[in-house]
Amino acid sequence: MAAELDGGPRPDIGAQRAELGPLLGIALRPGESWYLIDSRWFKQWKKYVGFDSWDMYNVGEPNLFPGPIDNSGLFTDPEIQTLKEHLIDELDYVLVPTEAWNKLVNWYGCVEEQQPIVRKVVEYGLFVKHCKVEVYLLELKLCENSDPTNVLTCHFSKADAIATIEKEMRQLFSIPSEKETRLWSRYMSNTYEQVSNLDSTVQDAGLYHGQVLLIEVKNEDGTWPRQSFPAKSSTATSRNFATTSASSVNSYSSMSVSSAIANGDSNNSYGLTSSSLGRGVSGFSYSCRESPSQSQPGICGLSNLGNTCFMNSALQCLSNTPLLTEYFLEDKYEAEINHDNPLGMRGEIAEAYAELIKQMWSGRHSHVAPRMFKTQVGRFAPQFSGYQQQDSQELLAFLLDGLHEDLNRVKKKPYLELKDANGRPDSVVAKEAWENHRLRNDSIIVDIFHGLFKSTLVCPKCSKVSVTFDPFCYLTLPLPLKKDRSMDVSLVFAGLHRRPTQYRVVVPMMGAVSDLCEALSKLSKIPAENMVVTDVYNHRFHKIFQMDEGLSHIMPKDNIFVYEVCKSSEDGAECITLSVYFREKRIRQSSTSSGTVLCGQPLLISVPKHKLTLDHLYNVVLEQIGHYIKFPLTKEYSSVCLDRGICNGSSGSCEVEEMEHQDGDEEGREKASEPESCQSEGCAHDLLGKEGQHHKKHLFTFSLVNSYGTSERNSITTEGKLLKLNSYATLAIDLDPDTRKLLFDEQESQAFEKDASTLQSQKKKTNVALKDCIELFTTMETLGEHDPWYCPNCKKHQQATKKFDLWSLPRILVVHLKRFSYNRYWRDKLDTVVEFPIRDLSMSEFVCDPTADPYVYDLIAVSNHYGAMGVGHYTAYAKNKVNGKWYYFDDSSVSMASEDQIVTKAAYVLFYQRRDSKQHIAPSLPAESELASEECDGMDTN
């Protein structure tokens, strides 16, 4: 049966599922509007209607009713309603199309004065089209040429045309439509680039977060004000380098290095210079800043264009890979660009990378802003097109693959049939696999970055052994998982007028909630069986955990409060545990707005079932919050329950006054009667005295509400004088604003104590050697039940044992430390210190080819990640090939570094160079006859 609402009837839960299901599965289409909804509210709605087949418990229960849509958890400030940074899709919010949003709003409404969060679908990519919702709009700073100090901040979609920005600027600065204007991008106070194509999009124009745009109005005499300005930007050399020696990119010279290390300002971009490419291409230009004194080649920072530190870190590592950089600086790539490779990018990634490397190694710039390189990458890899933080290793993987396909010397790839070892010697199978790989993949990337794995699978039933050899471009090494984790939790004591106390407990990583309670019990001396663990969010209980639930359900950002409750009273009687929310009454601005707002810290209280009266409940709550009530109470307030409207009639039946809401649950609402005086004989009001003494005011009233605290249920029913309530029913305490301000100490209500455990330093982390990670990688494992292997003998999938071995290694060994771990509930970063050698890394013990030459490596670069997953900052350490010194690259800032600084818990991707690598390599593949006698690939295959 549908519930009637002001906006229209709300269908029953089955109909809601049926109506919303198809809408939530539709594909994104460019230009459409989608809406953000806080994932916590959306999960509550899914529970209420039983949207997920595996979560049908208590479907339709009134205490699961979600109430009005509440997105306050997505805002840094609910008043301004600015989105928090680094929100993650599905984890923090969900996206719904317009039709789904309209239905949900019609059924449930929105929190008072909260604006919808609507965003456009934007299409990315040149060949591979990719749609995504642009959650974060681009912030641009707008000003007039006549008054550049008056800067206005506006937000635009990356899909907006430049003409849209110009129209907005005309309105902001009151420029008549008949006046002719020009737009300029400003990169420093004295460096500009004209934005001439008004039909291009913000994305195509390469504008970044924080970009300054200036609008210039033509003079009455037909001239432009900026025509009289001196030249503002220096001109970079074109890529054919047929210019004077003063501008030659190959002019190596000494440099002066800034000792300051910046933290990666997203607006830290520098002056633009333009360069036209050879062969008529004019798409690449890089913002550069020429150093006051000559810089040394390669010691060149990269400006942060807006969360692009991940890209800068990866580029610095590749730039300081000598074999690759020499290949580009010597123009060997030009003869090998494969414009027709269907798996490539028409050679554009290779050309963009070459242009950037030449700028960085020109010796003329202290830093470069790689705007056009980023634009080119975003065209072919849409996941990198925006300005959200990404993963440096993922960019490296894309870039190495993209460069390989753009520079693949194989113009037409032959079809090759894979063969199993079938008992043949490993050396024969390995050589066959490598030669087959080279028949389809032959580039500078294969020459110096590719190695060969040996993979062995054994069937547990028939003992069939399958051996294959597969190429790899980098090693992804697992880190030993942490066995435990520390958690900060707050313990709320039952009564005793005690402040909540924060504790730091150490619990098993894969433990249960009961382990958390046991650990907390040892510190607090409160019995673990008297604890209830909750996740408190926006003044309500987002989740109340069961003792057997896994701790993996608790994310690091959750606010965990543990409440002391009594499961049974001293006389053994059963106790009822109730959730209690605080709400402040608000004057309704309109007939559709909510009448109360949640506030304060929720409570869990235990009351013996045989004492569950309103009087007793009132006193229990009063004792619980007593430490932040301003005692002594004024004469007009009572410390016992003397609520008007509590007692109704001589029968003693009890009801609770309820505020009206637009979003009541499906059971309907009843307004409690409010007699002016108590009509019940023997009422507690008589305790105040006889002879008609006036009743004192009550501190608060109760309402029976849903678990979200936003919708009243039917009045509290009674059996005699006892309240008829189930365990974990939710009550709301409605406070008058003046009463709350007069009697409640807000500062004290938020105060808490800190246990000594929070002051103790975190458990010292055990360092791990790089070789331990390699050993873990080569350890035999059994495949999971969801990832079985198809046994050709058994003719069915089996959970086989699998073992990886290294057969041959490349000249440049890229090691990716797998610091980020994922599960269904949370994402974590392992900050273990991995001790890796700067020089003399011997890999021979891990290579299973018995005839291989020794593999000894020296470190040449490290990509670092600081902070937590999804946020944080990337930097790089790299060794300059010209002077052999180490430098620290932090976006546009470059500083000297010492070897003892390099090994840290931030190390994420390591670049090692093989000692016996040749310093110069041939730009083309030798004839097939030479392959038999020479190791042109830099690897032992035998």
Distance from the first to the final alpha carbon of the chain = 76
Q: How far apart are CA 122 and CA 133, in angstroms?
A: 6
Instruction: Work out the angle between the directed axes of helices 309-319 and 322-329 (0-180°, nearest 10).
Output: 80
Q: How far apart are CA 368 and CA 287, in angstroms?
A: 6
Q: How far apart are CA 809 and CA 885, in angstroms?
A: 26
User: Taking the alpha carbons of 236, 241, 244, 247 in that order, is the dihedral positive or negative?
Assistant: positive
Task: Give Cβ neighbours of residue 138 (< 8 Å, ≥ 6 apart).
Answer: 155, 156, 157, 158, 202, 207, 208, 209, 211, 387
Of how many residues is the chain composed? 942
Tokens 């109360």 belong to which residue?
596
Beta bridge partners of 608: 575
Beta bridge partners of 3: 10
Short-list 905, 898, 854, 857, CA closest to 877? 898
For residue 125, what are its two tokens?
């990519």
Please give the helix or strand (H or E) that residue 35 lies within, else none: strand 33-38
Using H for helix, E for strand and C for coil, what is the string for 586-604? CCCCCCCCCCEEEEEEEEE
Task: Give Cβ neighbours of residue 27 (< 8 Å, ≥ 6 apart).
Answer: 131
Q: How far apart are CA 701 and CA 696, in angstroms?
A: 14
Edge-to-edge strands, sheet with 484-492: 540-544, 531-537, 560-564, 484-492, 501-508, 753-754
Q: How far is CA 136 from the centre of its chain?
A: 13
> Does 309 qualify as catalytic in the annotation?
yes
DSSP 359: H
Asked if residues 892 and 301 have their Cβ atoms less than 8 Å apart, the reply is: yes
> Does 873 qualify as catalytic in the annotation?
yes
Beta strands 211-217 and 138-144 are parallel
Q: How far apart are CA 871 and CA 479, in angstroms?
A: 20
Q: How far apart are CA 182 and CA 170, in angstroms?
A: 11
Tokens 């050697």 belong to which residue?
769
Q: How far apart are CA 352 and CA 364, in angstroms?
A: 19
**DSSP, residue by residue, 191-247:** EEEEE--TTSBTTTTT--TTEEEEEEEPPTTS--GGGGSPP-SPPPPPTT--S-GGG
Short-list 735, 773, 779, 754, CA closest to 599? 735
> From the candidates 143, 288, 309, 791, which is the catalytic residue?
309
Find the farthest-apart pair of alpha carbons in the chain and give their distance in angstroms, rounded: 118
Short-list 286, 361, 279, CA closest to 320? 361
Helices (H), 36-177: 39-49, 98-108, 162-172
Q: How far apart are CA 375 and CA 355, in angstroms?
A: 14
Q: How far apart are CA 107 and CA 101, in angstroms?
A: 10
Using CA atoms, how far residue 399 sits from 313, 360, 403, 407, 881, in Å, is 13, 17, 6, 12, 22
Please give the helix or strand (H or E) that residue 314 lies within, else none: helix 309-319
DSSP 548: T
Catalytic residues: 309, 873
